[in-house]
Structure 1
Amino acid sequence: MRTITAGLFISLDGVIEDPQDWHFPYFDDDMGEAVGAQLGSADTLLLGRATYDSFAGAWPEREAAGGEDAVFAKQLGDARKIVVSHQDLEFSWRNSEQLQGDLLEAVAELKRQPGATSIAMSGSPSVVRQLLAAGLLDELHLFVHPIVVRKGAKLFDEGEAAIPLRLVSSKSFSSGVMHLVYTSAEPAAAAGYDEAKTHLPG
């Protein structure tokens, strides 16, 4: 069974929209290494349509330009790219295809297919929310930036049920960014103030 990992740039107030407007000052060697490990090393990418369009509009040109980011661009180009969309799509970026059928059923089947690496996601918040709620997302990588953006869409919208998570690892970058990795967890035991006060000092 393959695992699915998702990586998102996020501000302290939970904003994920338009990270290109606020996150580049924090992109350093630490983040480059972490993003490369989570995204660049994957042989399969699962992307929402908006994220795919952004990637397809930039990375093929960067690969062709042969600059210092060409190696990473080629890794993305060589990967199998599966796009989630309700519309019929046509692709010009190599190794791209559309996910067919119901999202959750198709992703569950995708996880059962053989592969050498985890299936990686970047951005694609709507897809991330659905997979997380369904228990199909194995790791959520949040790159928490030390900035309060104060406007824009947030990762988690309002919903009926809480989604308990467990912290797998945390790392602080010299830029002040925190790389937090979460996985699914069982709901916490019921508790109130009477249980919590036993942990107060004194």
Structure 2
Amino acid sequence: MRKITAGLFISLDGVIGEPQDWHFPYFNDEMGAAVGAQLIGADTLLLGRNTYEGFADAWPEREAAGGEDAGMAAALGDARKIVVSHQDLELTWRNSQQLKGELVEAVTELKQQPGTTDIAMSGSPSIVVQLLAAGLIDELHLLVHPVVLRSGVRLFDEGESIPLRLISSQAFETGVLHLVYGPTAPPAPVSYDAVQGRLSQDEQ
């Protein structure tokens, strides 16, 4: 079964909305390499409608312009792009199609299809949260920026907890943390009495 990896820019207080307003001062070669490793090498991209439309508005023009990022633009264009939306969409970017059926069932089937790489997601936070809760995301790549925004759309809202395990962590020179999490079983319940014995006398 293929893996799904999801990458998101996120602030220290959990905001993921409007990253174009706060993300760019922290972009460096380390972040570029991390994003590229997670996204560009994938032969299949799973995107929400808003993320897809943003990509489709920008990357074909960058590919045609032939600038420094034309290689990335070409790789994204060549990838199979599957768009999640409740609306009927007219998809103009090459190799694009709309996901059919109920989200969890359709993505479960997608993971079982043959492919040579992981299935990559970028942005698309509402889709990420639904798939994470269903246990369908294998790696959640959070690029945590050292800024407290204090307002904006956050990745998680109220709901049932989602236990995760830390797969890897890396600190960039900018102060950004690249944290990779995967699904795991809930921890066994532990009471305060069980923890109390581990505290030093000074801490009690």
TM-score (norm 2): 0.97
| Counterpart residue type for residue 165 of structure 1 | L
Residue 64, structure 1, aligned to residue 82, structure 2: no
| Counterpart residue type for residue 24 of structure 1 | F
| Counterpart residue type for residue 95 of structure 1 | N
In the TM superposition, what are the counterparts of 1:68-79 in structure 2 within 5 Å? 68-79=68-79
In 1: Cα distance, 2:66 partner to 2:188 partner: 54
Correspondence for 1:155: 155
| Counterpart residue type for residue 26 of structure 1 | Y
**Unmatched segments (≥5 aa) in structure 2:** none
What is the CA distance between 1:198 and its match in structure 2?
Answer: 2.4
Correspondence for 1:9: 9
1:4-24 CA distance string (max 9 Å, x none): 000000000000000010010
Correspondence for 1:170: 169
What is the CA distance between 1:197 and its match in structure 2?
Answer: 1.9
What is the CA distance between 1:193 and its match in structure 2?
Answer: 1.4
**Unmatched segments (≥5 aa) in structure 1:** none
What is the CA distance between 1:99 and its match in structure 2?
Answer: 0.1
Correspondence for 2:186: 187
What is the CA distance between 1:199 and its match in structure 2?
Answer: 2.3
2:110 partner SS: helix
In 1: Cα distance, 2:36 partner to 2:188 partner: 37
In 2: Cα distance, 1:196 partner to 1:57 partner: 53
What is the alpha-carbon root mean square deviation over aligned residues?
0.7
1:97-153 CA distance string (max 9 Å, x none): 000011111000000001010000000011001101111111100000000111110
What is the CA distance between 1:62 and its match in structure 2?
Answer: 0.6
In 2: Cα distance, 1:24 partner to 1:4 partner: 26
Residue 112, structure 1, aligned to residue 112, structure 2: yes
Aligned residues: 201
1:114 partner SS: coil
Residue 196, structure 1, aligned to residue 202, structure 2: no
Correspondence for 2:131: 131
Residue 52, structure 1, aligned to residue 52, structure 2: yes
In 2: Cα distance, 1:186 partner to 1:4 partner: 18
| Counterpart residue type for residue 175 of structure 1 | T
Correspondence for 2:35: 35
1:50 partner SS: helix
TM-score (norm 1): 0.98
2:197 partner SS: helix
1:17 partner SS: coil
1:40-69 CA distance string (max 9 Å, x none): 110000000000011011111111111101
| Counterpart residue type for residue 11 of structure 1 | S
Correspondence for 2:82: 82
What is the CA distance between 1:192 and its match in structure 2?
Answer: 2.0
In 2: Cα distance, 1:42 partner to 1:194 partner: 48
